[in-house]
Amino acid sequence: MKETRYHNDKIYIPREVKEKMGLRNGDRITIEVTNHSEARIKVTERDEATKRLLESLKSPPSLGKIKGTLTRREIYEDTP
Nearest to 3 by CA among 11, 19, 14: 14
Under a CB-based contact definition with an 8 Å cutoff, are residues 10 and 25 in contact? no
Give the phi and the psi of residue 78 in degrees, each rounded to 5: -70, 140
Per DSSP, 26 falls in state T
- Residue ranges for the chain with pLDDT beneath 70: 1-5, 49, 79-80
Kindly report the CATH number that applies to the domain delimited by 1-56. 2.10.260
Look up the pTM and report it.
Answer: 0.46
- In the chain, domain spans: 1-56
Q: Is 68 helix (H, G, I), strand (E, B) or coil?
A: coil
